[in-house]
Copies of this chain bind each other. A is one copy, B any other.
Amino acid sequence: MRTILLATTALLLTAAAPKPLTPPDLIAAAPASAWRAIPADDLLVLDLKSGTRIVIQLAPAFAPVHVANIRALARSRWWDGAAIYRVQDNYVAQWGHNDERKMPPGVVARPPAEYDRAVRGLAITPFPYRDAYAPAAGFAGGWPVAVRGARANLTHCYATVGVGRDLAPDTGTGGELYSIISGAPRALDRNIAIVGRVISGIEAMSSLPRGPAPMGFYKDRSSDTPIATTRLASDIPPAERPSFEVMDTASPTFARLVRLRANRHDAFYERPAGGVDLCNAPVPVRAKP
């Protein structure tokens, strides 16, 4: 009976019931044409001292100068010896060196405020539901965006990666980064440079002990989570480098997935919401088959 109960309990809060169609079913059945390879230059690979690997997809179309800085920092191994030094519950995990060490050549000391960008040049697939923060939203090149007139911005969703900064006009260099480990703190949108998202290993950040000092800083460095190396996948030998694909947000499969997330009819759901939050319609990413 125990096994049966576990099996039935396993249906609790899940999207794994076999039929009707669930989001995981739809993603698993997506045709190859619905997937796009992520360039190795857009994959930032953090290997923790523990051996755990965290992979971040960079967003050069939205924060080109910050992303160029991050690539330069990775190539110069600037982050060697860096650590996760701040974990604030229901908010962020933050990493880097948290000191004033010198930046290597090629890093722009004061990047522009790449907090949003022109809609022109982006192919935006409209998000069909209400957004609580912007008059319109959508997806562009695999990324969720909020749209205000002629401007679009990446949104702070779970696993979004942004650039720590001091007060304006400072925009941060990219040396100190944070990842969202909570509900979507969308008030940060258009106030900070979003440079990507964690696509593998976010749980290695979200499950860390919260820091006891104000804003989740650890009281001493011995509490930090050390990062062994931070490299671009393109700097890792092809045989060893991770490789990922992202779903084409302009594909019929993705449009269907968003509608399905707003209208769950699988076993557990008796009353579909008829809508979904932009951040609760994450863009599927998978390790390359």
Interface residues of A (CB under 8 A from B): 1-2, 5-6, 8-14, 16, 87-92, 94, 98-100, 115, 129-133, 157-159, 164-168, 176, 178, 182-192, 202-203, 206-210, 214-215, 217, 261-262, 264, 267-280
Contacts and interface: CB of A to CB of B under 8 A. Distances in A.
B269 A187 contact: yes
Given A158-B182, A215-B13, A277-B184, A167 B8 contact: yes
Contacts of A131: 130, 132
28 contacts: A5-B99, A8-B166, A9-B98, A9-B164, A10-B214, A11-B166, A13-B91, A13-B188, A13-B192, A87-B207, A89-B206, A89-B207, A132-B276, A157-B183, A158-B183, A167-B267, A183-B279, A183-B280, A184-B277, A184-B280, A185-B280, A186-B273, A187-B269, A187-B272, A187-B280, A189-B273, A191-B270, A207-B208
B188 A271 contact: no
A130 to B, nearest CB: 5
Smallest CB-CB A-B distances: 5 pairs: A183-B183, A89-B203, A132-B277, A203-B210, A190-B271
Contacts of A189: 273
A184 B183 contact: yes
B2 A191 contact: no
Most buried by B among A132, A158, A269: A132
Contact of A6 (B98, B168, B208, B262): B98
Nearest to A279: B183
Indicate how many identical chains form the complex.
2
A151 to B, nearest CB: 11
A246 B206 CA distance: 28
B277 A11 contact: no
B182 A182 contact: yes
Contact of A12 (B87, B94, B274): B94
A13 B271 contact: no
Given A90-B202, A277-B277, A215 B14 contact: yes
A190 to B, nearest CB: 5
